[in-house]
Amino acid sequence: KNVAENNRRTQSLELAGSTVFQAKSAALTASLADALLQNSRLTALNLSSCNMGDAAVKLLAHSIRDNVTLFELNLSHNKLGRPGLIALAQALATNTGLITLNLLGHRVNSEVCAEFVKMYGTNFTLCKLIWTLEVAGYTLK
């Protein structure tokens, strides 16, 4: 509610591991994504371990495409696959606000990695990307 109302006191939203969010992940992500389209105050959003899948992150990706106030986004330990991660990378290509993105706990293959490399061709603000990269026989951090 505070995010949707652009409440000046709501600068960070901590939903990590929220059982309510886990139970209603799709509906709550849709509401949050709509709110982020208008919000200009939220700077940090933690959605780690919230049972989010590809459809949910695609909604969120659309919302952060042009968002310039969200600096930190934690999506670690959800259920994101290749389609969701690629949609996120494509949305970040035009984002000029996000500085830190946490994607720990997701399988980042070469195709996903290539989209993020492509994203860095136009995104100069994302300075910290946290993930585990899996390349045939190796795990890189």
Angle, CA 64 vertex, CA 80 and CA 47 arms, to 5°: 45
pLDDT for the residue numbered 74? 98
Rounded to 5 degrees, φ, ψ at 27 are: -65, -45
Judged against a pLDDT cut of 90, whether residue 140 lies above it is answered with no
Distance CA 34, CA 102 (A): 22
Residue 81 has, within 13 A of its CA and on its CB side, a CA count of 4
Residue 125, number of CB atoms within 10 A of its CB = 12
Q: Where are the beta strands (DSSP E) in 32-135?
A: 44-46, 72-74, 100-102, 128-130, 133-135
* CB-CB contact of 75 with 32 (8 Å): no
pLDDT for the residue numbered 15: 94
Per-residue pLDDT at 50: 95
Q: Is the pLDDT of residue 117 over 90?
A: yes
pLDDT grade for 70, boundaries at 50, 70 and 90: very high
18-42: per-residue pLDDT in tens?
999 999 988 999 999 999 998 888 9
CATH superfamily of 12-140: Ribonuclease Inhibitor (3.80.10.10)
Task: With a cut of 80, say whether residue 90 has pLDDT above it.
Answer: yes
Q: Residue 55 half-sphere exposure, CB side, CA atoms within 13 Å?
A: 6
